[in-house]
A and B are shown apart, each in its own frame.
Chain A
């Protein structure tokens, strides 16, 4: 769930926009480079964007008695590195802001920062760290997707708490409030996103071994990965 249109004071909206812009520009560059150097990966790039499209359209009920939706950014970040997701995430957010009145143009910068920048980087970081310590591929994928999803909503909570500190308890009081609304709601959804990302990665391992090897997700000549969960 993104910050709604007009719900960030102008100064904050501009600041988050300025913080996000360089990442998106850099992302556009990496995306065009990837497509130019490896035209065969266009399809998989499209599939990664499509995964984000599906998941961020699914509003699911959660344990807090409210609804939210996953982000789907972990998969693309693991496959193509996070800069690419800055672009694909922004496209998804624009679609929702323009057609669905979900999120907004004035809050686009803040929402891009949480969903298309911090989420992918945090998820990718966890994935890489786990892989370095030889954690099985699918476990690392699950954790990466889980963290990408949850960190997005932690950032959203921080952004709102910065803009609307509690009159009594200040920033931390407000962070507790927004965290309870966004982050706690998100925990089971992040588990769902982790499971769905593992499912898609399993299908990719079955269908696109060559591509995954080129992207460094699978090691060349390692067959045991294909059956490992």
Chain B
């Protein structure tokens, strides 16, 4: 029997009991739907995590000053000032010893309020150097914009660059370039508008698009080392809140990060720093993804096992019910292998239809989950259906059909023609 005739025969057999055939595929439909939906949500999460990590710069190592627990506070007896975090000494040491670091970019949080009219905002101001544009993966938004340049720091110019989100909040639809931003009680002129396309944050803390950047020298000349007054007369002082180290190449990152941690452990009496390595986070995300894939595969295997057993059950019942038909076909010239292929093709068609319906349901479920998670207006789940996941889903359906259809089909083919003909 040729393929066309086989298809026609199989189609006729399956449509004979359409509802039963569709019910038989239900296990496969739900199994594949679950797999496709979870893979889509997993892939969305993975892409989002990668975007976040990559937006920090994959060749960067970021040091962040972290306030140690109260009990570990290192107090100077006279001033009750708590000093912690990344120091100028650290910067100098890294500059002189770490040959694989091509750029060191300090970032200091200017602990001063930025006002919108009379209302204080949560927009953060930071002081940094011109190389911040490169290490932060930001880009200038329009051709009239510029970032901070060395001259700004040399002449202590009160200029600043604003992120796109901060600019929208501060100036609405007005052109931000040339406008003034009041930080503390000093007016800064906006010379540039920048954007981080990935919506990244400095050290995972401050949103880059909601920042105002000023020259480090200008901030230091205005406010000295940034010290803020705390409760009960206690103050804290941090040299640098963040330190971006750009490696010469990605291969150098693991070694450099290891040496850096060793140095910091020796140089700091307490753990008042955090080392963030986006490259390591990326590796970790990939490991997590692999675990997720294994878990998903296990769930898929279980659901498809259940679905496959359902298919096998239906096929065995089908064959029992159609024993006489098998006998008639054999009497009319069908070979054992014709019967085997016919029932195997029925099984594969059933699971393929189940796979197709399941893939559709899975896509719809993933889209619905994404929509529901965004109902509150916040950024919620992201679902990404890849063509690979659909191909895998359909391939798995076919394999399930073959795996669970072979035994019933083989049984059908082995029936004695005469016994089958006499079957009531």
| A interacts with B | no
State the B residues within 8 Å of A (CB).
Answer: none
